[in-house]
Structure 1
């Protein structure tokens, strides 16, 4: 294969990327139109749903005697009532809890076997440290180096698609964070 043939392939790739870029930009424009058209309504209704939900929770909490038997009811597809919950475990600092477990083992209140079940220990090779080793040592460890040496490079000089993708991702993240606030 000659350099001219490879240049033709690169030119063909460029044409396809340009078409893809145009399609993506059209899609982005359409998404913005749809999103901007209905997003305000979606947010408004979502706030109403959250308000109704919270008010229903408050009413149920205020009158638990209404949910002794039966404990739940269904009205218009909404199941509501009381449910026995086991709760969830919470702590602020993993390291502090592990230290306390070890102290209880030392005090004889928890067995070493229980501590092994309570504390998760994870061993994992450190890639950055392994990268410092000689190739012979790496081979003896069963570690291979992938992608070293000359590799084909194909990169768009005009990064319209990459910018559009980044723009969509950043907009989605911004919306998600705003909705959580």
Structure 2
């Protein structure tokens, strides 16, 4: 005779258990993804702030060197602010601007409002009065004001505003005051 077998104990997971495990796994994966995206966003923000700091340092080093050694300074502001620096005889001999072969006569820093760029051009003793093609120094600038200092003609004030970096509230402004050594030396 045939005996009916009793159903064996079921081995494995039920459908409900599998669904709960899938939901828990999905929550863990979404949480890990969110942490990764926040870390990536933080990295990009820190990188752009670091890039801005490096840009400001480079720009201030270049402009302050040129301004300190200038014998005369002119500036005009408006949509395209400019700073014109001229040098006396022997002030900038064999200057790197001029391929280390000629003397530097003048440098013009200009701000291109449309492109948000600070540009430089220069004139050397091999071709007086002829300026090089403008070269872009930095970009991402929203405004530049070059002005002889209100307090003294021995200084030049430079105010540079940069575009916002993600997460910043206001435009970042940097102010630089550079002493004109030739002007100060003439007083002493």
TM-score, normalised by the number of residues in structure 1? 0.26
Greater relative contact order (Cα < 8 A, sep 6+): 1
Mark the structure with the bigger radius of gyration.
2
Task: Using structure 2 for the length normalisation, give the TM-score.
Answer: 0.25
Identify the structure with the greater helix proportion. Answer: 1
